[in-house]
Structure formats: C-alpha cells, structure tokens
Amino acid sequence: MKILITGVAGFIGSHCAERLLDLGHSVVGIDNFSDYYSLDLKTKNAKAVEAKGATVLKVDLREENFDENLNTDFDYIFHFAAQPGISLTSTFEDYFSNNVLGTKNLIDFALKCKSLKLFVNIGTSSIYGLEATFPESIAPKPASHYGVTKLTAEQLVLQKSREKQMKACSLRLYSVIGPRERPEKMYTKLIDLGLKGEAFPLFEGSHQHLRSFTYVGDIIDGIVSVIGREEKVDGEVINLGTEAEHTTQEGIEAVEKVIGTSIKIEVKPKRAGDQLRTKANIDKARKLLNYNPQTTLLESVEAQVKWFKENCL
C-alpha cells in the first residue's frame, strides 16, 4: 500500500513511518520542520525514516499549494501534523492555523485521492478536557486551545465520513512516551536534567496528576492495526493508550531508578489547561482493533533513557 504520513519528522509520526515500512508499505512523509522544538532532532528523525526507504518532503499544510509535488495515488493517510501540547509560547493563531486550517487543506487533498481507503486522524485525550477517563461516547470538554482545535480538526475529518465522501476515523492518544519524545515533554526533560544534575521544573500540584503513560510502540500497534479494518473503523473515534495509571511523582521515581540518581525539583506556578487525570478507556479499541498494550512504565523509561544517551548526549 502507498501511505502518506503528515508530521513524519515528529515523535510519533516517525515511529509510525518506520513500522509501516517494516510491514512492507510504501511511505511518503511530509513535515513543515517548524522550529517549535529542535530542528536537529527533527532532522535526525527524518533521516532515520529515509534510511528505511521513505520519501520525506518539506511541506507546510497551511499553504494552499502544499500538494503541488504530491501524487494522488495514496491508499491511506495518517495525519499526525499539529501544533502540539500546551505551551505559553504558542498563540491561538498557531493552534488554529496548524490544527484546523492545515487539516482542512489536507482533507481537500484527500478527496482527490481516488484510491484512498482510509483517512486516519491522530487525535488526543486533551479533547476530553481536564479529566480523560471516559469512553468515546462522552461529550468532549476541552480546556485548552490545543484541545479545542484538535477537536475541531477531528470533526472536520469525521464530517467527510458522515457525508460518505471518504472513510475516516480518529484515534485519541494518551500520554505517549518513549524514544524521540519531544525535548520539552516530561520524560525527555527529566532524563536530560537528571543526568546533568539540574533542577526539573514541576508545576505546582502536578506531582499528583494521574496519567496513562503509554509506550510509543504500543501506540503504534494500535495505529497500524486500522489497516484492513476500514469498514469497522469508518466514522469512529477510538481511544489508544494503557489502562495503567501512574502519578507524575511515580514517573519521576521511575526515571531516578533507571538513571541511578535523584532529581532536583523546582516548583513552578500552576499551568492553565493541564489535565488532572488521564486513564485510557480502551474497551472499543479492544473490540475493533484487538488492541492490548503491554509495555510497563519502567520498560518504557528504560528504552527512552537508552535512546537519549545514544542520541542526545
């Protein structure tokens, strides 16, 4: 199958591209290589994907003519590209242009792909709001510009399924961790600062926050399993993550155990929009995708520390 992956130089997109290549598919990846975080890391990710046989193009979905160098013969589209997370440096316009307008432009392109079997939108548990412990049928209550714009993107995609213009689904991911995690994310920052002996900035009260920290390999298992299940997943929203919950404090302790040293903590003021609790309800994923994540938190941290030492020191 010929597959288009957006956000291919990112954390999860690059892992998905490698898995699909390992499964024998042809992959074209696009990314705008924004400077939201280290371009060096994105370049490394892209080179790793290219080394496995993918074609990687610098493309910005916000531009009207973004598809001028793309053919329309794709069988699947996996849409990872987005303005990520909750960041004080990101404006509403950043979230809106990347997550809403970029998705709308990609949908318009997808409708030109006559052999398209499925458009897979990559959503987020942030769509649920401050607590994300629910089945997919619950009404979303996003509490950040990120969550609001990702919900909008999701609905734009699913609208085309409802209109019978293309088959589409949305996968809501939960607290993904592992090798290539972004530099500003919790585990990469914990590992980096812990190895340097520097203080980790912890938002007040967040040590008690509960998360479904899910290993990226388990997430990719779920994502690629939609292939061949187009009829089952068309029009569906599906949670992907682990049912195991851990506090932020337990995450800190796991990193300390792996790197063999305690981590200094610097408490910062609370951050608006932070989720208090995420626990993936994956009954639907089990039913439709035979999904069964197995990697423990400690195994995930061990893999991430190994990657960090090999690639970031």
Asked if 136 and 209 count as a contact pair (C-beta separation under 8 A), the reply is no
Instruction: Spell out a b/e string for 283-302, using b for 16 or more CB atoms within 10 Å of the CB, else e.
Output: ebbeebbebebebebeebbb
Tokens for 274? 């932070």
Q: Find the catalytic residue in 146, 187, 215, 291.
A: 146
Amino acid at 277: R
Rounded to 5 degrees, φ, ψ at 71 are: -80, 170
Calpha distance 114→178 (Å, rounded):
36
Rounded to 5 degrees, φ, ψ at 26 are: -95, 130
Asked if 16 and 176 count as a contact pair (C-beta separation under 8 A), the reply is no
Q: Is 146 a catalytic residue?
A: yes
What is the DSSP code (8-state) at residue 126? G
Calpha distance 286→288 (Å, rounded):
6
Asked if 166 and 119 count as a contact pair (C-beta separation under 8 A), the reply is yes
CB atoms within 10 A of CB 91: 12
HEC profile of 158-216 = HHHHHCCCCCEEEEEECCEECCCCCCCCHHHHHHHHHHHCCCEEEECCHHHCEECCEEH
Catalytic residue numbers read 146
